[in-house]
DNA sequence: GGGCGAGAAACCTAAGTATGATTCCCCGGT
DNA sequence: ACCGGGGAATCATACTTAGGTTTCTCGCCC
């Protein structure tokens, strides 16, 4: 073992993990070696259940799955993850797949569907693409989550005002619409800006867009 | 022929066309009948070149392609269309395809990849999905195009001011940044609002987002 | 009592409009 | 080559409206 080994991905300069799910240990080992050779961290699983029951680290990652697995198949696992709202990119491998399978996998959002035997480089390319996509998705998600947290701290009235402000109404119009004095709208509005951490109205409008606020 | 035949899709209530590209005329006729039976308009082509050289109508539509075609293959055509920035949804059919082909097609954005023989209903489902997606894409595109047209009428200065306004700067800050008096900024700003047809600052910010305006 | 909503008064800043004027530059006509 | 017009940018003055903050006061309800 290399004492200088790092948990960080030397290729991308950021932490990332590849989850390998295959019932054949020799295949898992071979893939693990391949990924480790380019500085990627690897976790191995022998079945879909094993992966579903483990707690996945919160870093950019991807799944490398055999289609045929004991218990849940790779495609079943893909469906389960989607149902659980887990959007980790998936790369499928198969020795005996068919076209409908590959189409189903790709429609389900898979990054790639490789037929064995495949070239190591093809697998690496797909994994790199997958991890890059996951990193981007995580960043986007993080931004929205942060906004939503701030949004949670708003009172009902403040949310109402936010929606109308984002819709472009003037304070007096908002006041008429919700039946309060204009000064009250100003106070709510000021609180909304502070709570949301918006530095300008433009900022606030963009935030409202991101968390999908619209007037009913 | 039904004298009450309409150019409008009876199923979706909106005009739409299916382009069928296959070198086998009997296949084309069969597909055309299938699509017409549910009220879809159909145009047939014997080769990729035929389709590329014809002017496609500007309505929600999709492509049904055989992978194997004389001249450009279905996959080549997909690539050509993407290069030409034509984003019409594609459904592939094949009698002798393989997994890498289907994966390539799906990665290229295909809606589906059907192996012959397929059930009529599967084809219809895919076509309906494709047309729905195209209609949505067209609507989104139309909105952005309209905005861009308005944006084109702005002078350089006005665009500069728009970018800074959308970034949330105050008039005085914008004035300092571009080295003019605050009153001048106000004038530009007013013109921007008028030319863009924005009814409020919130409106303008959303427009700027849509056409991808950001401060350098 | 404390959080929340509402609001009055006072005050200040920011934004928007109207009018008029100046300068620069390009374009077309003579 | 000379002249006039028009668009664009700039700015001043003068006002009006909108937005925002602070302080204090109520009323409500858990």
pLDDT digits (tens, 9 = 90+) for B203-216: 999 999 999 987 66
- Cβ contact, residue pair A115, B100, below 8 Å: yes
Both tokens assigned to A162: 């936010």
Q: How far apart are CA B65 and CA B24, in angstroms?
A: 11
CA distance B46 to chain A (A): 25
A181 touches strand C (CB under 7 A): yes
Tell me the C-alpha distance between A23 and B216, whole Å. Answer: 51
- Let me know: does B192 contact B141? Beta carbons within 8 Å: no
The answer to whether B34 and B123 have CB atoms below 8 angstroms apart is yes
> Distance between CA B97 and CA A38 in Å, rounded?
34
Q: What is the pLDDT of residue B202?
A: 95
Report the candidate in A151, A81, A138, A139 with the shortest Cα–Cα distance to residue A110: A81
Collect all residues from B whose CB is shorter than 8 A from any CB in A: 94, 97-100, 102-103, 106-107, 112-113, 115, 165-170, 199-203, 205-206, 209
Contact B112 A113 (CB under 8 A): no
pLDDT at A213: 84
B-chain CB neighbours of A199 within 8 Å are 168
pLDDT at A60: 96
B107: its two tokens: 């990665």
pLDDT value of residue B8:
46
Tokens matching residue A214: 């619209």
Q: Is the model's pTM score more than 0.75?
A: yes
Q: How close A200 comes to chain B (CA, Å)?
A: 5
Selected residue of B202, B203, B204, B213 to mutate for chain A interface (largest A Cβ count, 10 A):
B202
Lowest mean pLDDT among A7-21, A105-119, B82-96, B115-129: A7-21
The two most distant CA atoms of chain A are separated, in Å, by 73
Look at residue A199 in the predicted model and tell me its pLDDT: 92
Q: Is the pLDDT of residue A147 over 60?
A: yes
Looking at residue A199, what DSSP letter applies?
A: S
Query: How many residues are listed for chain B in this entry?
Result: 216
Residues 6+ apart with CB under 8 A from B121: none
pLDDT tier, A166 (very low <50, low <70, confident <90, very high otherwise): very high
Segment B174-181 long-range contacts (CB within 8 Å, at least 24 positions apart): none
pLDDT at residue A1 is higher than 80: no
pLDDT band for A15, please (50, 70, 90 cuts): confident
Mean pLDDT over each residue of chain A, to the nearest integer: 90
Q: Which of A157, A153, A211, A216 is nearest to A186 (CA)?
A: A157
pLDDT for A86: 95
B45 Cα distance to chain centroid: 21
Predicted local confidence at residue A9, as pLDDT: 43
Predicted pLDDT at A216 = 58
Query: What are A36's two structure tokens?
Result: 């480790």
The yes-or-no verdict on residue A5 having pLDDT over 60 is no
**For residues A170 and A185, what is the distance between their CA atoms, to the nearest angstrom?**
10
CB under 8 A, 24+ apart: contacts of B9-13: B9/B39, B9/B40, B9/B41, B9/B131, B10/B38, B10/B39, B11/B38, B11/B39, B11/B40, B11/B128, B12/B128, B12/B131, B12/B132, B12/B135
- pLDDT of res. A215: 65
What residues in chain A have their Cβ under 8 A from chain B's Cβ atoms? 94, 97-100, 102-103, 106-107, 112-113, 115, 165-170, 199-203, 205-206, 209
Strands A17-21, A41-45: pairing is parallel
Distance CA B160, CA A123 (A): 46
Q: 10 Å Cβ neighbour count for A214?
A: 9
* Token couple for B158: 């006005």
Element (H, E) at B115: strand B112-115
Q: How many CB atoms lie within 10 A of CB A116?
A: 11
Q: B182 vs B61, B142, B162, B178, B200, CA distance in Å? A: 50, 35, 14, 10, 20
Low-confidence ranges of chain B (pLDDT < 70): 1-14, 215-216
Cα–Cα dist A22/A175, whole Å: 61
Residue A33 has pLDDT above 50, yes or no: yes
Q: What percent of chain A has pLDDT over 90?
A: 77
pLDDT at residue number B216: 60
Cα of A211 vs its chain's centroid, Å: 16
CA B182 – C1' C11 distance (Å)? 23
């Amino acid at each position: 073992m290399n004492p200088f080994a790092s948990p960080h991905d030397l290729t991308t300069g950021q932490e990332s993990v590849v989850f390998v799910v295959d019932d054949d240990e020799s295949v898992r080992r071979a893939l693990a070696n391949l990924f480790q050779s380019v500085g990627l961290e690897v976790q191995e699983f022998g079945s879909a259940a094993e992966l579903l029951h483990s707690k996945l680290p919160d870093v950019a990652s991807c799944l490398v799955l055999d289609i045929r697995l004991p218990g849940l198949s790779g495609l079943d696992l893909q469906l389960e993850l989607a149902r659980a709202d887990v959007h980790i990119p998936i790369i499928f491998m198969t020795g005996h797949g068919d076209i409908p399978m590959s189409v189903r996998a790709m429609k389900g959002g898979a990054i790639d569907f490789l037929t064995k035997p495949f070239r190591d480089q093809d697998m690496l390319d797909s994994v790199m693409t997958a991890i890059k996509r996951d990193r981007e998705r995580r960043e986007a998600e993080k931004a929205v989550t942060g906004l939503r947290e701030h949004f949670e701290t708003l009172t009902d009235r403040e949310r109402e005002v936010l929606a109308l402000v984002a819709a472009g109404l003037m304070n007096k119009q908002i006041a008429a619409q919700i039946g309060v004095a204009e000064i009250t709208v100003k106070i709510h509005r000021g609180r909304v800006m502070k709570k949301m951490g918006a530095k300008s109205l433009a900022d606030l409008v963009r935030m409202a867009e991101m968390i999908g606020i619209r007037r009913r």
